[in-house]
Structure 1
């Protein structure tokens, strides 16, 4: 148990001798880090040329962690999740906490748990978040209250989904919204922004949003700028028409005068392989005129609902769940079609509603996108999938182990910046993403030599190796490969102010600091 602020200890927790990689991209340094009242109260660099230099004495803290040889980094920020309902229904959040994630951004791809008022079962792809019983939040403020009551083990920041808004106000989703319907959607979006939502997300590739013309999204995005919010989008196409889809996203950002985040940027489909250079050139060109970024997950397979538009024999498609045929989960679509003696599209039609993993990308494109300076990391994991893509449990350790250490795609400092500092700055998560005095003590301690993802496509629910400890808001939440039981996360509103360092440590009693 951490010491309270009125004890004789200067710090609740002291992490001694850690190799600090602070999330900014700067070089690693060895330091002692003292935590107090949920924040990073003091950092003392250890000068190797001066017999260790100044140190924080062990007896200055209620709890001491000797971290020699381990890396201390900001807690990882998963900017692209579908944990919307799970942070309330399964607040222990083991798939994320176990890999060092301390903050999740929900509401991506146009689908969000709030604000939602269903007329029946949730439309595709909102069913990725659960069945109708999971949608209990008719207003965004109700969702914020639910997070506060659930006390999840990780912090939660939220976007508002365009498809969710459409389902609230349109009698059918295969048409454009009317002016009155757009006004109603804007009113709900404004309520969410008033309660700290990060911005608006779209999933224009999905059938229930594809009918929305660009003009509908332009009008809906107009309140974002005044709130300091952003626009995140699952592009209208990630296949052959990807450049046109990117142009649409950039146009929406310019019109609304807000930053654009392209979700899970990829070159999907065999005919699209090798086009990552052109895709990134388009992103670079847009950056000359407007703020644009993207997120990416470190795998060559995607996962979503089973979509007839993506069904092909060009690559393997594994069915992960099926409502009418649950026994088909874990099998290849091609094998199911052969058994039923039908073609792939007919097999997929019979399986719906269903989920699938699509092995639709090539390594070279994923490498280029991951390494791009504008790319941050998001898992895009699907926690309600009975056989989830391994990214749900392994995305962040995979970047650190497979890509940074083993393949040397980028330095460890850059890998961590893509998971922490750059993510916090892009999504307006003030006080997060850096190891700095005064910032919240969201921290992960790991072994850079052994960290790796253990989750596989056949056994996806495996915690990563090499994670020594995770703190959320200064509370030890994961240690020795298991959760501590603490749930210290909270809702993070957009642009929350950060107190000055002096305010954070003002009450520290100098007589109780036994530094040597």
Structure 2
């Protein structure tokens, strides 16, 4: 069965691939090639596009990209939440949190996006890579004091760095206004940068200023930024965090839909009721579970609950988190009803937001896309299989303007995934988060096999860096 990514009903057929492109779609049994792959009884869809990743360094140091290809992911978008490896040259200085989620001082060695692109192409990853420029990375590069708004001169310095990165091939700008390096940034700092993105035909994504009590105000700031800059905006990993805000997705989605009727708005989400980021005392709410994912001074505490550590040490959870720092954590701060309501919305794309360098990562790194297909589509019936695939393929390709990707259509790139709709399922759990999914059979990236669960020796690396100049309307 071919599920073409558009949301239309699946249909039986043959797919012909010539080089890196889909050459033909035909009636079943009518095409013959030099090499034939019989996938009867399975689904073939476009390769999945992970719109929200922190794989900036992973594609360089582990280009086989096992956590992604084993899910059927053919394209990753890096540089999210205001954090990107480029353009930022630290010259031996340690990056502030959360930039350390990507690596240390030696990893921030790309003063221009062109240098990062060259490194990605030299690594030859198994997946395609498109890159956003992180606003926090620009701030670190341009400012000595991050605890204030940028001056006009500093904004101009950031704009010039951003313009150069866009010229090199970046697809847009991301912000992380929630995080310490960018909290002091005001909308008048972000808008000039977003305008630069608009001139280049790119997109602006944001980890908003607040996803908790002030989620509605943060949504309005996001929409206003898009309107003032005349740029498409994407709300990253939309959620209603904290017990006080459970159920508010009814209202946030209404606000998003109203804005989307007037301007270009996108949303991504992951299929879990827990988030993962750095561990800060101010974010610790003792009414919810917090699990440590890594700690520099206490690496043995990874995978343990913060409450248990605090009890063992005879301190509060906030004090325990301060002792563990720098550290990361999973926060079980969402309600399942909100997760389902957000995932089901037609505007919402799927993004893993996996953090690959955590010692004990959130299971979304390995399980996001099969979980949507297996748990939420097949088992829960939240949406059809065709709609699940659309959220992972043509919708993100359109929102991020990835030309000739995201659909099973003649002339498009042959990014194709074969999966068993009856058995596809995530295997990663919060207790054992590193586990490949079941039911993903084969992945082709640019016409070559990148993954096969029947032959572990197959690990083709035919991914490409997708430059902005190659972006156009689908």
Equivalent residue, structure 1, for 2:237: 264
Task: Give the Cα–Cα distance (whole angstroms) in 1 for the partners of residues 233 and 67 of structure 2.
Answer: 28
Deviations 1:100-133 (A, max 9, x none): 0000000000000100111511111010101122
Deviations 1:346-399 (A, max 9, x none): 111111100000000011000010000110000000000011100000000000
Structure 2 residue 81 is matched with structure 1 residue 106: no
Structure 2 residue 155 is matched with structure 1 residue 182: yes
Q: How do 1:293-312 and structure 2 match up within 5 A?
A: 293-312=266-285
The correspondence for 1:417, drawn from 390, 395, 400, is 390
**Secondary structure at 1:62's aligned position in 2?**
coil
Q: 1:428: how far off?
A: 0.6
TM-score (norm. length: structure 2): 0.98
The correspondence for 2:55, drawn from 63, 68, 83, is 83
Contact 1:381 1:392 in 2 (8 A): yes
**Secondary structure at 1:285's aligned position in 2?**
helix
Q: 1:294: how far off?
A: 0.4
**Secondary structure at 2:109's aligned position in 1?**
coil
Aligned CA distance change for structure 1 residues 271 and 498 (closer, same or farther; 3 Å): closer
Equivalent residue, structure 2, for 1:371: 344
From the CA coordinates, give the structure whose radius of gyration is larger: 1
Task: Give the Cα–Cα distance (whole angstroms) in 2 for the partners of residues 242 and 307 of structure 1.
Answer: 20
Task: Give the Cα–Cα distance (whole angstroms) in 1 for the partners of residues 472 and 355 of structure 2.
Answer: 32
Q: How do 1:300-339 and structure 2 match up within 5 A?
A: 300-339=273-312
Q: 1:188: how far off?
A: 0.5
Structure 2 residue 12 is matched with structure 1 residue 20: no
Aligned CA distance change for structure 1 residues 497 and 270 (closer, same or farther; 3 Å): closer
Task: Give the Cα–Cα distance (whole angstroms) in 1 for the partners of residues 43 and 457 of structure 2.
Answer: 20
**Secondary structure at 1:318's aligned position in 2?**
strand
Contact 1:430 1:495 in 2 (8 A): no
Length, aligned pairs only: 472
Contact 2:403 2:473 in 1 (8 A): no
The correspondence for 1:408, drawn from 381, 390, 393, is 381
The correspondence for 1:197, drawn from 170, 176, 185, is 170
Equivalent residue, structure 1, for 2:462: 488
Equivalent residue, structure 2, for 1:463: 436
Task: Give the Cα–Cα distance (whole angstroms) in 1 for the partners of residues 412 and 193 of structure 2.
Answer: 34
Aligned CA distance change for structure 1 residues 100 and 483 (closer, same or farther; 3 Å): farther
Q: 1:499: how far off?
A: 13
Task: Give the Cα–Cα distance (whole angstroms) in 2 for the partners of residues 332 and 270 of structure 1.
Answer: 19
Equivalent residue, structure 1, for 2:65: 93
Equivalent residue, structure 1, for 2:30: 55
The correspondence for 1:217, drawn from 190, 194, 199, is 190
Structure 2 residue 322 is matched with structure 1 residue 340: no
Task: Give the Cα–Cα distance (whole angstroms) in 2 for the partners of residues 165 and 256 of structure 1.
Answer: 18
Task: Give the Cα–Cα distance (whole angstroms) in 2 for the partners of residues 344 and 219 of structure 1.
Answer: 40
Q: 1:497: how far off?
A: 6.1
**Secondary structure at 2:157's aligned position in 1?**
helix
Equivalent residue, structure 2, for 1:360: 333
**Secondary structure at 1:459's aligned position in 2?**
coil
Equivalent residue, structure 2, for 1:8: none
Task: Give the Cα–Cα distance (whole angstroms) in 2 for the partners of residues 146 and 263 of structure 1.
Answer: 27
Equivalent residue, structure 1, for 2:121: 148
Equivalent residue, structure 2, for 1:42: 24
Deviations 1:186-232 (A, max 9, x none): 00100111122111100000111101111111122221111111110
Task: Give the Cα–Cα distance (whole angstroms) in 1 for the partners of residues 469 and 376 of structure 2.
Answer: 32
Structure 2, unaligned stretches of length 5 or more? Answer: none
Q: What is the Cα-based RMSD across aligned positions, in Å? A: 1.4
Structure 2 residue 50 is matched with structure 1 residue 74: no
Q: How do 1:95-134 and structure 2 match up within 5 A?
A: 95-118=67-90, 120-134=93-107
Q: 1:172: how far off?
A: 2.1
Contact 2:279 2:321 in 1 (8 A): yes
Structure 1, unaligned stretches of length 5 or more? Answer: 1-18, 47-53, 501-516
Equivalent residue, structure 1, for 2:358: 385
Runs of 4+ in 1 over 3 A off after TM superposition: 497-500
Task: Give the Cα–Cα distance (whole angstroms) in 2 for the partners of residues 399 and 415 of structure 1.
Answer: 7
Equivalent residue, structure 2, for 1:507: none
Task: Give the Cα–Cα distance (whole angstroms) in 2 for the partners of residues 491 and 438 of structure 1.
Answer: 19
**Secondary structure at 1:385's aligned position in 2?**
coil
**Secondary structure at 1:339's aligned position in 2?**
helix
**Secondary structure at 2:37's aligned position in 1?**
strand
Task: Give the Cα–Cα distance (whole angstroms) in 1 for the partners of residues 179 and 217 of structure 2.
Answer: 16
